[in-house]
A = this chain, B = another copy of it.
Amino acid sequence: MGTVDVPEATVARLPQYLRALSAFADAGARTVSSEALAEAAGVGSAKLRKDLSHLGSYGTRGVGYDVEQLRRQIADRLGQTTSWNVVIVGIGNLGHALAGYGGFASRGFRVVGLFDDGPQVVGEVVSGLPVRPLEELGEVLRPGEPTIGVLAVPAEHAQGVCDRLVAAGVTSVLNFAPTVLRVPAGVDVRKVDLASELQILAFHAQRKATRAVAPLPAPAAPAAAPLPVHPLDAVRPRVGEVV
């Protein structure tokens, strides 16, 4: 079944499934239905089943999925069987937070190097690791072990640093700087853009506000609720739809 070609949208959800599965495992559950797992992961059950089918799942009809087996299978697919090396470049405001983040290690990511070029930052020890100058990048990267580079430098330096990472053999980059990175084919870049996220929220908030003033479908409706929604009309919790 699902050897090659796992759809990208599915891949993006696997981490969520994995987290939910771990929660079920911790709670002592031995099996889960697609319904329960989907609920915990915040998606529809049909989507979940289709996603799992893409990687050749082993559910048993009438029962559900074996928690431990499925957890291991997804973990395998996400490469969690081996531990990945991570280097962080730019140990400023954000870099400090990232360097001390426990969510890395618990998911098989090992921070093996911190880099910066600020004279007063280099040499500092952050979360047990010394901050090194970028020149020492080569001493940390092992050719055999694929390494993920995390960029937390100012936007104007991001491309330059990225180039150096790529030149040193990094083929996976997570970019926090609000800029478009250009990389050769074969190199993966994902970006986390905080300002964009806020802007998208603002767009929707604005849309909600203008809608409230001039509602489209029912013009005859009298005063709608002045403040949007009541928090505890909890008849249906309804997961917030995102992308």
Binding site for B on A (CB under 8 A): 1-6, 8, 11-12, 14-16, 18-20, 40-42, 56, 76-80, 84, 86, 93-94, 96-98, 100-101, 103-104, 107-109, 143, 146, 148, 163, 166-167, 169, 171-174, 178-206, 208-209, 216, 227-234, 236-240, 242-243
Q: How many copies does the complex hold?
A: 2
Contact, CB under 8 Å: A198 / B107: yes
Contact, CB under 8 Å: A103 / B178: yes
User: Within the complex, which residue of B198, B199, B209, B239 is in contact with A146, where a contact is CB–CB below 8 Å?
Assistant: B209
Q: How far is the CB of A155 from chain B (nearest CB, A)?
A: 9
* Extra pairs beyond A2-B233, A6-B203, A96-B97 (12, CB < 8 Å): A11-B203, A77-B206, A108-B202, A109-B195, A109-B198, A146-B205, A166-B231, A182-B237, A184-B237, A189-B240, A190-B243, A191-B242
Residue of B nearest to A177 (CB): B103
A237 to B107, CA, bound (A): 31
Contact, CB under 8 Å: B12 / A243: yes
Question: For residue A181, which residues in chain B have a CB less than 8 angstroms away from its CB?
Answer: 239-240
Question: For residue A40, which residues in chain B have a CB less than 8 angstroms away from its CB?
Answer: 180
A13 to B62, CA, bound (A): 43
Question: For residue A98, which residues in chain B have a CB less than 8 angstroms away from its CB?
Answer: 194
A15 to B200, CA, bound (A): 8
Question: For residue A15, which residues in chain B have a CB less than 8 angstroms away from its CB?
Answer: 193, 195-196, 199-200
Q: A187-B229, A238-B184 are in contact. Are A19 and B194 (CB under 8 A)?
A: no
Contact, CB under 8 Å: A201 / B172: yes
Contact, CB under 8 Å: A104 / B238: no
Interface centre among A173, A179, A182 (most CB of B within 10 A): A182
